[in-house]
Amino acid sequence: MAGTNDALFSLRGKRLILIAEDEEINRALLENILEPEYETIAAENGQQAMEKLIANPGLVSLVLLDLNMPGMGGLEVLRRMREDPDLSQVPVIVLTAESDSEVQSLNLGAVDFIPKPYPQPDVILARVRRTIELSESRKIISFTERDPLTGLLNPDYFYRYAERYDQLHPDEEMDAIVLDIYHFHLLNERFGRARGDEILQRTADSILSAVRPLGGFAARRGGDTFLIYCPGGTDYGKLLQSICRHSEQDAGERLRMRMGVFQRADKSVEMAHRFDRAKMAADTVRGQVTNNIAMYDDRMRERELYAERLIDDFPRAIAENQFRVFYQPKYDIRPDQPKLSSAEALVRWNHPELGMVRPDQFIPLFEENGLVEELDRYVWRTAARQIRSWREKFGRTLPVSVNVSRIDLYDPKLTDRLNALREENGLGPDDLLLEITESAYTGDSDHALAVIHELREMGFRIEVDDFGSGYSSLNMISTLPIDVLKLDMAFIRSAFREGGDTRMLEIMIDIARALNVPVIAEGVETEEQMKALRAIGCDIVQGYYFSRPVPPEEFEAFIVQGERGDESEC
């Protein structure tokens, strides 16, 4: 495992020392001794020393302070530093010819002194080194800056450290790099947590040994995400390869990693955000086998700006009812004449400047920052009222399913809210249905499963959305609390494309049979598809063949019609 101080001292930047001394010759002497190892700045009196300290916040590793200077003297500087919370941690070595001032300056917080005339250079260097080391180790302890599992820096400390590095090297181009392990959660599930931890430790070690010679340093953020701050000009392919090779050898199994780089990071961008950008790039690698390195680029920048805009516009959109709920019919295809069985509520954003924005552009975004909860509450409320209003108008209840995001499952009031909606609108268990995507069952599955069980106990029917796209094992499926399986559209796509075959679809339908639940196919666009699905035992169909999602006024025609012939007008 990485040693405690490795990353800290792998920082290529030199530490900065302030020399406050009025005699020019003495300053030059000290600079000469220190300069190969440290950077120095100089002050000729106490006033200047204070100004320079304040102008370099958090950057000065040590002050060498002459006590006798014209104007403000060293003792006064010590006094002022002690009173300033930002400066009181900066170690001070006092330079003095008078031995009686030593005690006084030690009492005022100086950590050591160097007598005048100056001793041998190596004595001075030894004192300087020791003082800086002691002070940094004290800081290390007080900031708990290490990730206990891997020994790498933790992100907060890493960001501060990187900022400091930038201040010391304003002209150096730096890359923000994010690295993560493909499907780490699967490795964890397959080999167990302890083995997963070991893989993370080995990866951390291999990252350190790869970036240290480049003058970079590293941190771990969250489960399997690693951050690297590194001088520009690195050969990323080689870096990734050497990390992978090293980790694999040790881990004993094949690891796939991907890397995102914010190259020559724009230093006006906040440090943490530079790594968000690198992560954004890394996320675009998803699924690609050959090229697993991606650079942050202008396209991503545009997407990022678009996303920021959508987030900024959200409160106004809610307040001004810009969100609209559309409905897409689901038809029972078992009878010869398909019969309208229910509808799915799908949100649309009628943005005043951007036009109709589709949910796949904002739902994932709002899932990331939690806004989806507020949006979904609005959609559920609208859908529940719609069910009631159609019942009043047409004398029959058309069940409507709403999408419940995995984020909603963390709302402690979820069950109360849904119950209240049912009560307010006089709805029964078969009227308001819940679609929960399969991937919600996989992440932190214990929690999700508990909430879903609770919802079912309260009488809600659960439709597993996008089934087959997640990673639930067959073993897990048999114990899932579900009422309906909605097949992921990808199965329909691959079954019906040229040369495709329906075997996978048949297997999925067999699974539904074994679980004794009806199966819905979505994304059905043609009559041929509908008939083929009917022939292999699919119960319900949703898709453009019957209708796109439409506004409620338009949807009413389907309720009036109730039943539709195969020769649909789509």
Q: Any residues with CB less than 8 A from the CB of 388 and at least 6 apart, and which?
A: 425, 426, 427
Token pair of 462 as six digits: 């659960």
* Piece of 70-78, 158-166, 170-178, 538-546 that binds ligand C2E (CB under 6 A): 538-546
Q: CB of residue 399 vs ligand C2E: minimum separation in angstroms?
A: 16
Where b means 16+ CB within 10 Å and e means fewer, 11-50 reads bbbbbbbbbbbbeeebbebbbebbeeebbbbbbbbbbbbb
Question: For residues 21 and 45, is the Cβ–Cβ distance under 8 A?
Answer: no
Q: Which is nearer to ligand C2E, 296 or 467 (CB)?
A: 467
Contact partner at residue 347 from Mg ion, ligand C2E, none, CB < 5 to 8 Å by partner kind: ligand C2E
x/- contact string, 77-116, with Mg ion (CB under 5 A)? ----------------------------------------
Closest approach of Mg ion to the CB of residue 403, in Å: 5
Q: Which stretch binds Mg ion (CB under 5 A): 21-29, 307-315, 335-343, 430-438?
A: 430-438
525 binds ligand C2E (CB under 6 A): yes
Q: Is 435 in the site for Mg ion (CB under 5 A)?
A: yes
Q: Nearest distance from residue 524's CB to ligand C2E, in Å?
A: 6
Q: List the one residue out of 568, 516, 507, 561 whose CA is nearest residue 541.
A: 568
Q: Indicate the SS3 state at residue 399.
A: coil
**Per-residue burial over 354-380, b = 16 or more CB atoms within 10 Å of its CB, e = otherwise:** eeebebeebbebbbeeebbbebbbbbb
Minimum Å gap between C-beta 338 and ligand C2E is: 15
Alpha carbons 404 and 380: distance in angstroms, whole number: 9
β pairing state of 519-522 and 174-181: unpaired
**Separation of alpha carbons 235 and 242, rounded Å:** 11
Query: Does 329 help bind ligand C2E (rule: CB under 6 A)?
Result: no
Closer to ligand C2E by Cβ: residue 260 or 338: 338
Residue 363 in the binding site for ligand C2E (CB under 6 A) = yes
- Residue 530 CB, nearest distance to ligand C2E (Å)? 11
**Token pair recorded at residue 141:** 């302890």
Residue 405 contact, options ligand C2E, Mg ion, none, Cβ 5-8 Å cut-off depending on partner type: ligand C2E
**With binding defined as CB under 6 A, does residue 372 bind ligand C2E?**
yes
Nearest approach in angstroms of CB 527 to ligand C2E is 12
Q: Could you give phi then psi for residue 534, rounded to 5 degrees?
A: -60, -45
Instruction: Report if residue 359 touches ligand C2E, rule: CB under 6 A.
Output: yes
Piece in contact with ligand C2E (CB under 6 A), picked from 129-137, 287-295, 372-380, 386-394:
372-380
Given candidates 37, 71, 121, 544, which one binds ligand C2E under the rule CB under 6 A? Answer: 544
Distance CA 255, CA 318 (A): 44
Burial of 214 per CB tally in 10 Å (0-12, 13-18, 19+): middle
State which residue, 226 or 331, has the beta carbon closest to ligand C2E.
331
Instruction: Compute the distance between CA of residue 165 and CA of residue 167 in angstroms, rounded to an integer.
Output: 5
Site for Mg ion in 373-412 (CB under 5 A): 403
Token pair for 196: 């997963």
Burial classification of residue 71, based on how many CB atoms lie within 10 Å of its CB (0-12 exposed, 13-18 middle, 19 or more buried) = exposed
Give the separation between CA 201 and CA 207, rounded to whole angstroms: 10
Structural contact between residues 65 and 92, judged by C-beta atoms closer than 8 angstroms: yes
Helices (H), 4-120: 6-9, 24-34, 46-55, 74-83, 100-107
Listed ranges 110-118, 268-276, 355-363, 415-423: which one lies at the site for ligand C2E (CB under 6 A): 355-363
Which among Mg ion, ligand C2E, none contacts residue 74 (Cβ within 5 to 8 A by kind)? none
If one asks whether residue 151 binds ligand C2E (CB under 6 A), the answer comes out as no
CA 529 to CA 392: how far, in whole Å? 35
Q: Binding of ligand C2E at residue 549 (CB under 6 A)?
A: yes
Contact between 465 and Mg ion by CB under 5 A: the answer reads: yes
The footprint of Mg ion on this chain (CB under 5 A) covers a number of residues equal to 4
* The one segment of 125-133, 208-216, 249-257, 519-527 that binds ligand C2E by CB under 6 A: 519-527
Tell me the C-alpha distance between 185 and 171, whole Å: 40
Looking at 33-41, 249-257, 505-513, 518-526, which segment touches ligand C2E (CB under 6 A)? 518-526
Site string for ligand C2E, 443-472 (x = CB under 6 A): ----------------------xx------
Applying CB under 5 A, which of residues 466, 505, 512, 541 lies at the interface with Mg ion?
Answer: 466
Our finding on whether 376 is near ligand C2E (CB under 6 A) is yes
Q: Which residues of 482-491 are buried (b: 16+ CB within 10 A; e: fewer)?
A: bbbbbbbbeb
From ligand C2E, Mg ion, none, which one binds at residue 543 (CB under 5 to 8 Å depending on kind)? ligand C2E
425 binds, among Mg ion, ligand C2E, none (CB under 5 to 8 A by kind): none
Interface residue list for Mg ion (CB under 5 A): 403, 435, 465-466
Interface residue list for ligand C2E (CB under 6 A): 328, 346-347, 358-360, 363, 372, 376, 379, 403, 405, 435, 465-466, 522-525, 542-544, 549
